């Protein structure tokens, strides 16, 4: 259920690498109009191409990176009744949700967790932890799987990639504009862009990238509520509520930071500004929302 942590680090890393490569190749000079000012129209096009490019590179790599970071083992041929049930349950839910059968995997973790990722609704991965299989009963695991399948059916990975692309575009555009201002106005550099532009752009890109991640994380939190509702529809509301209640009682061992936005069980609820950097709403809020929907 966590689609975003991967984007936060991967996108920033991709954008930084692209920025360094483009500087080395001299692309900056192509955007430098007559050596004195930026061509903002060209810069916006440049920012959009590389902003969306970075986001969709991250999306395309998401399944591969998820497997590498969690050690998830895809079930190709079920080896026991539990794996047979997992594959059959996901297949049934995928059919009902109108999507192609995702890959089903298990990763070794003592904490109950699960995630879904992939480039599209018809090219996805659903994985559960060994801890989740040990601590939850079959109804609760079914609800967790339904939640993850709902993420896939809702197209959350692509939606968040598009949002990230828009955010990346503005981060690239604004950071380069700030770099240009520092280079020309503060450092009084009248020739081609100097080291001041390069360093300022990199620093601004990191700062604005962190601030912009709050926008992406906001949408991630909203889509968790939608996936809970989808999970309740596929598996049953009481099963979904029971699964979330079980997660509240578990000792939380979060996924790697790069995968934090991909699991069903987010980090412990924060307060104040910490809430802005959470990929998941507090479990209490999610449970209350499901119970509220049941009374409507």
Alpha-carbon distances of 172 from 24, 44, 69, 73, 252, rounded to whole Å: 17, 9, 28, 37, 36
Q: Residue 40: left if φ>0, alpha if ψ -120 to 50, beta else—which one?
A: alpha
- Of 144, 159, 158, the closest CA to residue 90 belongs to 144
What are the tokens at 41?
């129209």
Residue 148 catalytic? Answer: yes
Report CA-CA distances (Å) from 45 to 41, 42, 50, 159. Answer: 6, 5, 9, 21
Given the residues 103, 148, 224, 253, select the one marked as catalytic.
Answer: 148
What's the rounded Cα separation, in Å, for the pair 81 and 2?
A: 27
Cβ(126)–Cβ(102) under 8 Å? Answer: yes
- State the catalytic residues: 148
């Amino acid at each position: 259920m966590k689609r975003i942590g991967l984007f936060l680090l991967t996108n920033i890393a991709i954008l930084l690498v692209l920025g360094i490569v483009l500087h080395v190749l001299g692309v900056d000079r192509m955007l430098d109009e007559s050596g004195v000012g930026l061509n903002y129209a060209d810069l916006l096009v440049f920012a959009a191409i590389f902003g969306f490019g970075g986001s969709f590179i991250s999306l395309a790599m998401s399944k591969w990176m998820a497997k590498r970071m969690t050690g998830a083992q895809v079930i190709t041929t079920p080896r026991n009744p539990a794996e047979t049930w997992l594959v059959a349950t996901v297949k049934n839910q995928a059919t009902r949700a109108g999507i192609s059968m995702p890959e089903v995997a298990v990763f070794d973790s003592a904490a109950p967790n699960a995630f879904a990722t992939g480039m599209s609704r018809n090219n996805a991965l659903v994985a559960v932890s060994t801890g989740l299989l040990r601590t939850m009963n079959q109804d609760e695991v079914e609800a967790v799987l339904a939640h993850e399948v709902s993420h896939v059916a809702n197209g959350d990975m692509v939606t968040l990639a598009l949002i990230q692309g828009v955010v990346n575009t503005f981060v690239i555009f604004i950071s380069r504009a700030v770099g240009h201002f520092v280079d020309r106005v503060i450092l009084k550099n009248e020739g081609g862009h100097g080291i001041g532009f390069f360093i300022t752009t990199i620093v601004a890109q990191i700062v604005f990238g962190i601030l912009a991640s709050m926008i992406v994380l906001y949408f991630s939190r909203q889509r968790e509520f939608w996936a809970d509702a989808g999970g309740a529809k596929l598996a049953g509301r009481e099963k979904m509520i029971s699964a979330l209640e079980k997660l509240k009682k578990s000792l939380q061992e979060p996924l790697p930071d790069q995968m934090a936005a991909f699991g069903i069980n987010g980090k412990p609820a924060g307060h104040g500004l910490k809430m802005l950097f959470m990929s998941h709403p507090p479990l209490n809020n999610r449970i209350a929302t499901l119970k509220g929907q049941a009374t409507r």
